[in-house]
Structure 1
Amino acid sequence: SNTQCVHQYRVILWKKTGAQKISLSYSPNKPMTVKQILSNFPNMEKLEKGPKEIFSPEIQKDLLLLEEQEGSVNFKFGVLYTKPGQVTDDEMLSNEFGSTDFERFLSLLGDKIRLKGWDKYRGGLDVKGDMTGKYSVYTIYEGHEIMFHVSTLLPYSKDNKQQVERKRHIGNDIVNIVFVDGSPTEMTNFNPSSIKSQFTHVFAVVSYSSEDCSYRLVVYSEESVPLFGPSLPNPSYFRSPQEFREFLLVKLINGEKATFNTPIFAQKRERTLDMLIKDLCQEHMSDSNRAQTMLN
């Protein structure tokens, strides 16, 4: 039921192309069958058989996973710390620690959390055996859980110049924040093509100026990514840390959502959703069949 206490059917139909949602009025005198409800979706009018119903509570978790694939619930963003003069991703990923300015920026983004035993959104990080570092940075913004993959908090290897473990997470994030240490003039030295990733489509380059205690922001995105807001102010610096945080998080979220609309991502997402839906059906249909057999 909605806020006015008018009872409704609220329905989500999952297809490999994404989710379709409708609300239908509910009448206690004329309850609708699942088949009747589905007939309200486009191209579902001629459904011959009513779908099988699944009563397993586990399916709710799997449906939440599907929603995550839609890129509209929870987010994971890379955060790359770079020192003045560093130009390659290998150099940037090899910074074992960040500066005071970087630490201040991280505390603005979110809370430093202990990964072991973490029971909220984990963004692909290990929460059992510290395999992806002991700590991470996490926040909730407007109902969205966000996990930041922070380069200096991910495992560091003295022997591996490419820092594969760090690259594995940050390189697979659609959106990366690049924190450029030193004066804001260092920002001009950053070149998005120096980051070798087929997955990252948006770079938010951030710098902190200790002279006037302001944050500067420049955003780069792949040509295939549609324009996304909010528009950067001109000049793009922020005196209020909270205003900057708000602007940055909205920009990052919108950047990821815009990337999902590029042809390559649309195809990838379609394949992934198709696979997840099939797996989900297979698993829960066999579970319900087993339960039915036991009842008989």
Structure 2
Amino acid sequence: MTPTPRPSTCRKINLWVNLYCAQYIPLTSKFGERDLVGVIVYEKQNKGNIVRVKSNIEKNTLNPIWNRPVFLEDVVFGSILSFEIIENNKVIAKALYPVQNIPNNKRMTYVLPLITPTLTYSGILRVVCYEGNSAQDVANVIFKFSDLEEKMPVCNNRSRLEITAEKISGTHSHVFWAIVRNKKLCYYQKKHKSEITNNKFIMYFEIENEDFLEIKIIDKNGFHYSDFISFKEKLTTFKRIETDQYVYSLKFIFTPVNKIPPTEILPPECQEFIADDWYTSMDIDVESFIEYENPEKQTSLVTSETFQNFHVEYDCDCITDTIVESCPILNRHYLDKPIKDVISKENNKKIYSFGDSCIVCCGESNQLGVCKAVILNPKNTIKCYLNLNTIDDDIDSMLMTNTHNKVKVIPNTMLDKIIFLEDRLNNNKEKFGIVVGIPGQVSEDEFLSNKEPSPLALEFFNLLGQTIQLKGFTKYKAGLDVVTNTTGTQSLFTEFCQMEIMFHVSTMLQHVEGDDQFLDKKRHIGNDVCVIIFKEGNESVDISSFVSHFNHVFIVVHPVIIDSKELYEVVVVTKLTVKAFRPRFPESKYFQRDSTFRDWLLQKLINGERASLLVDQFIQSQSIARKGLINEIIVSSTQKKK
């Protein structure tokens, strides 16, 4: 590892830089303002040493137009400029450009592709640079309207799609989405017209084999427009969208690989990690809830008070629709074990500690000192790229901290323990609660008082999984006694998408006579994040009767018969701190009693738990446990070295 600061006799230059605009970055909420910060990170020569410096740009709102020149002094000529977009102390997008590609004393405008951690979003950053020393040079980096003519460069062997969209008419605020496979761009159209900023905008995609894109328009009033457009049949195509709410004029310019000029291909340093699966997130994709007037009139499965104290999802219009349909509902990377499956198999791997509660596992580095890395920290596991030459600052940047810690080498002999910890932190086992309510019952205690399931409940159990004998059961037991049957003799178990799922079923758990508070049953169901309420009868369920701090998601399943069809009516209730999650409801809020519903319900439960684990309550408790486990390995490695 090369320490920082490090001595150098590198050439240095002074630069004026202007971040004009970062467009098409992810929306925090469907509609609303942003609090974004632009940050330029560069290497500076200072008294014979090279140090990393951050220069912040003023805060602004959605699609920020910073347009405030920044002076960068003594920039190392052979370094990389990193332009970062930060929201709530988190880097949500970044762009890279080598300083040596900036010409001397010549004003240059760059349209740089933004890299985002998930690669779900595509986007651009407009940058104007000029090598100069005096305050008068600031005029050289003020944005000009002609700068809009600059094309976005792409990676080598990539095509480019340029979309020019102009809103001809329409008065509502809305979001304009353009989607190509798993990448999407969004543009927020405000209500009032503005000739340059709001009515006409340009989007860019770097693409490989796709030959169509999807256009979506969504507004506050629930209006949706969607259309698929082919763009490879002609290099230039036009499209006019006319609805009752808007009129759009669209122009598509497709430039294939063999038509991209060399001047419009990114330098290797900039395209190092673009289109790299390593950046894919291990988190759940979440949506936002949409509030409507008098929602209690839409369903009677829960009390009217529930709508005041919880989020209630009862049909396909209750949550936003911003995640690309082609994105899997269950994030396939959620169960990734990158240390075990990738880092451990690379040559020249390195392991470091960073403070007393952070472990960094690095793969083999390239000629620039850059490597794949996994950061195990109290909050989460981060897959990223780190530069071994600036690893301390890079880790602080990834963790959004300013510790000034220095990495310390951990012997590779500790790798097995780290892999064991990774397995422990990221297992493939789930547990959910099920309570059964018969006609006339509305509260948790009433549901828990039932000793036997009804025929309808048994039908539901058989759809979800198989009834197993607990004694001697060898798979995931979810805290149930598989030796002496103190928690009951049977339970409900299933396997789904390589996960083992155990259900804590109220009618199968041990029923203790005289225990009016049902403490034994609550000991299990009260510790489940997600609970299914199988409710017979037409009474509204009182969700507030569930007082456990762990229960965050309730899915009410109500058997009904409509036009001689046996169906389930479903309502999903979540605490207000939980973000909306997929799968969405189908067009009909009624489900047939078949395997399709089973898959939907299991996906909803799994994602419901994952979304719940993002709330502060769980993050804090998990952080304490993770910190202890990570620290144990760090301390153990220190003792081994002694």
How far apart in 2 are the matches of 1:137 and 1:58? 33
**Post-superposition offset of 1:279:** 4.3
CA spacing shift, 1:133–1:192, aligned 2, 3 Å:
same
Deviations 1:119-159 (A, max 9, x none): 22222222222222222111121112211111111110111
Question: Residue in 2 aligned with 1:102?
Answer: 457
Q: In terms of mean alpha carbon deviation, does 191-200 or 58-67 score higher?
A: 58-67
Q: Which residue is equivalent to 2:544?
A: 193
SS in 2 for 1:76: strand
| The structure with more helix, counted as a fraction of residues | 1
| Equivalent position of 1:17 in the other structure | 379
Between 1:235-244 and 1:156-165, the stretch displaced more is 235-244
Partners of 1:171 and 1:240 lie apart in 2 by 27
SS in 2 for 1:49: strand
Match of 2:602 in 1: 249
| RMSD, aligned CA | 3.3
**Do the aligned partners of residues 269 and 233 (structure 1) sit closer, same or farther apart at CA in structure 2, a change above 3 Å counting?**
same
Identical amino acids, percent of aligned pairs: 34
User: Residue 487 of structure 2: SS of its match in structure 1?
Assistant: coil
Aligned counterpart in structure 1 of residue 578 of structure 2, from 225, 242, 258: 225
How much has 1:85 moved relative to structure 2?
A: 1.2
Q: CA deviation at 1:49?
A: 3.0
Q: What does residue 202 of structure 1 align with? A: 553
- TM superposition shift of 1:235: 3.5
Which AA in structure 1 matches 2:376?
W
- Map Cα deviations across residues 13-58 of structure 1 (whole Å, 9 max, x no partner): 321011123589xxxxxxxxxx89x889734998543113446967
Equivalent residue, structure 1, for 2:424: 65
Letter in 1 for 2:499: H
Q: 1:25-174 maps to which residues of 2 (within 5 A)? A: 42-43=395-396, 47-54=406-413, 60-68=419-427, 73-174=428-529
Aligned length: 270
Give distance in 1, aligned partners of 2:518 and 2:405. 55
What is the CA–CA distance in structure 1 between the aligned matches of 2:634 and 2:489, rounded to whole Å? 36
Residue identity matched to 1:87: V
Amino acid at match of 1:106: F
Within the candidate set 264, 269, 275, 2:617 is matched to 264
Contact 2:432–2:529 at 8 Å: present in 1 too? yes
Q: 1:7 to 1:63 in 2, by over 3 A?
A: closer
Does the C-alpha gap of structure 1 residues 240 and 179 become closer, same or farther in structure 2, counting only changes over 3 Å? closer
2:580 aligned counterpart, secondary structure: coil
Structure-2 separation of matches of 1:40 and 1:116: 53
Please give the alpha-carbon distance, in whole angstroms, between the structure 2 residues aligned to 1:82 and 1:148: 16
Runs of 5+ consecutive residues of structure 1 not aligned to the other structure: 25-34
Secondary structure at the counterpart of residue 482 of structure 2: coil
Q: 1 or 2, which has the higher strand percentage?
A: 2
1:190-229 deviation per Cα after TM superposition (whole angstroms, max 9, x unaligned)? 0210112111011000012255211111110111111112
Relative distance call for 1:279 and 1:42 in structure 2 (3 A) is closer
Q: Distance in 2 between matches of 1:108 and 1:23?
A: 44
Structure with max Cα Rg? 2
How many Å separate the matches in 2 of 1:127 and 1:59? 30
TM-score by length of 1: 0.78
The secondary structure found in structure 2 opposite 1:129 is: coil
For 2:376 and 2:614, locate their aligned partners in 1 and report how far apart those are by CA, in whole Å: 18
Give the alignment's TM-score, normalised by structure 2. 0.38
SS in 1 for 2:410: coil
- Shifted more, 75-84 versus 206-215: the winner is 206-215
For 2:607 and 2:443, how far apart are their aligned partners in 1? 27
Deviations for 1:45-89, whole angstroms, at most 9, x for unmatched residues? 985431134469676554322224xxxx32111001111111232
- Which deviates more, 83-92 or 14-23? 14-23
Seen in structure 2, the aligned counterparts of structure 1 residues 126 and 176 have a Cα distance that, compared at 3 Å, is: same
Question: Structure 1's 62 and 114: CA in aligned 2 closer, same or farther, altered over 3 A?
Answer: farther
Query: Structure 2 regions of 5+ residues with no counterpart?
Result: 1-339, 348-362, 364-371, 398-403
Deviates more, 1:145-154 or 1:268-277: 268-277
**Contact in 1 for aligned 2:530/2:554 (Cα 8 Å):** yes
2:630 maps to which residue? Answer: 277
Q: Which has the higher contact order (CA 8 A, sep 6+)?
A: 1
- Mapped to 1, the partners of 2:417 and 2:473 lie a distance apart of 20
Contact 1:66 1:276 in 2 (8 A): no
